[in-house]
Amino acid sequence: MSRAVLHVAQAGPHVSIQDGGRLGWLRYGVTESGPMDRIAFARANAALGNPAGAAGIEVSLGGLTVDCAEGAVTLAVAGGGFVVESAAGTGGSWTVVTLRRGERLVIRRGPWGAWTYLQPAGRLLARPWLGSVATHAPSGIGGGMLAAGQEIVIEDARVLQKVECALPCPVTARPRHEVAVVLGPQDRFFAGEAIAALTGAPYRLTDAYDRMGVRLRGPQLVPEGALSIPSEPILRGSIQVAGDGVPAVLLADHQTTGGYPKIATIVSAHLDGFVQLRPHEIVRFRAVTPAEAVGLARLRARQRQPFDR
């Protein structure tokens, strides 16, 4: 069995080990976690012939530098427009590189996008919980956040000879500035002006952005008398409005239940493009019917199928 060991020389905040996610445990307070951008993650695994959902590393705008301390392994980097430096030279993400003992790989923020994925051709060793190594950042459960000094061990590490070095970046992996939402489930607590503001005015993402969610900046959306609704289930993409009228979008590590009213929910087909927006970028929300949202999900599932083996 060949084995590769990567030494983490630098890791920005929010860099973590992720796999396809920990699905089916919402009723026990366990959110799915997994990649923020599921499309890019799937493409990186598919490029290497990995099983769908194979574990890798989610890299934030803070970047990642690893040194190969042992063995050799081919890696795919997909998601966003990051800069990738290796022995092969400097290029962009959406690439496949091979790292050999003594070589360094640097991933740092580039012209666009907020998250990228470093997937090894091999099995990244990490401690699973409930059958998944996906890191739940707030609790640290799962494979964990990465920090300088750590070692990443890849078992069954492969060096792929015949592989395209440049991966196509699908249009669905680009940042999405117009995002479809279904109103509710608690839109009834908001006046018509608030709904009109949400779906009419531009909002900006703020720096309050991590794997749990992102706070937005834009017109206030003050709920009417809904300050203490009973805690209820939350899905990824939920746009929650706290008492101060500031909306926040809940993402991969969201809480499973909460008592703030949810004015609308981003359709799942548009979440991957939404998370590639950076802080201070503009987003506009467009209301669609639940049936239209299902149609978008089915279209997205057909587009993804070849990469979800």
Partner 1 sequence: MPDTTFPRFVPVADCGLLVEFGDTVGGPAHAGVLALDRALAARPVPGQRETVPAYVNLMVVFDPAETDHAAVTRAVRERLAHPPEARSAGRLHEVPVCYEAEFARDMAAVTDQTGLSAEAVIAAHLAGDYEVHLYGFAPGYAYMAGVPDPIRLPRKPAPVRGIPAGSVIIAGPQCIVTTVTMPAGWWVLGRSPARILTGDPDRPFLFDVGDKVRFTRVDRAEFDRLSRGAA
Q: Quick one: tokens of 198?
A: 């949400």
Q: Min. distance of Cβ 185 from partner 1 in angstroms?
A: 4
Estimate the share of the chain in helix, then strand, then coil, as percent rounded to the nearest 5: 20, 35, 45
Choices 76-84, 151-159, 201-209, 264-272 (CB under 8 A): range interacting with partner 1: 264-272
Measure the CA–CA gap between 201 and 218, rounded to whole angstroms: 7
- Say if residues 160 and 75 touch (Cβ distance below 8 Å): no
What residues numbered 173-192 form the site for partner 1, per CB under 8 A?
181-182, 184-185
Work out which of 216, 266, 275, 283 binds partner 1, going by CB under 8 A.
266
Is residue 231 near partner 1 by the rule CB under 8 A? Answer: yes
Q: Min. distance of Cβ 206 from partner 1 in angstroms?
A: 20
Work out which of 10, 150, 199, 268 binds partner 1, going by CB under 8 A.
268
Measure the CA–CA gap between 206 and 214, rounded to whole angstroms: 7
**Considering beta carbons, is residue 26 or 145 the nearer one to partner 1?**
26
CA 185 vs. chain centroid, Å, equals 24
DSSP state at residue 192:
H
Q: Min. distance of Cβ 244 from partner 1 in angstroms?
A: 15
The interface mask with partner 1, positions 272-301, x = CB under 8 A, is: ------------------xx-xx-xxx--x
Sequence-ordered alpha helix ranges (H) in the chain: 38-48, 192-200, 271-275, 290-304
Residue of 28, 38, 33, 34 whose CA lies nearest to 233: 28
What residues numbered 122-151 form the site for partner 1, per CB under 8 A?
130-131, 136, 138-141
Q: Quick one: tokens of 157?
A: 């590490």
- Say if residues 266 and 274 touch (Cβ distance below 8 Å): yes
Work out which of 7, 9, 23, 85 binds partner 1, going by CB under 8 A.
23
Q: Min. distance of Cβ 46 from partner 1 in angstroms?
A: 19
**Considering beta carbons, is residue 65 or 256 the nearer one to partner 1?**
256
Lookup result for tokens 């680009």: 174
Work out which of 2, 12, 26, 279 binds partner 1, going by CB under 8 A.
26
Q: Min. distance of Cβ 274 from partner 1 in angstroms?
A: 12
Q: Min. distance of Cβ 224 from partner 1 in angstroms?
A: 14
By CB neighbour count within 10 A (0-12 exposed, 13-18 middle, 19+ buried), where does 134 fall? Answer: buried
Work out which of 255, 284, 287, 307 binds partner 1, going by CB under 8 A.
255
For the beta sheet containing 16-18, the strands, ordered from the edge strand earlier in sequence to the opposite edge, are 16-18, 56-59, 116-120, 72-78, 95-100
Q: Which residues bind partner 1 (CB under 8 A)?
A: 23-31, 130-131, 136, 138-141, 181-182, 184-185, 229-233, 235, 237-238, 255-258, 265-269, 290-291, 293-294, 296-298, 301
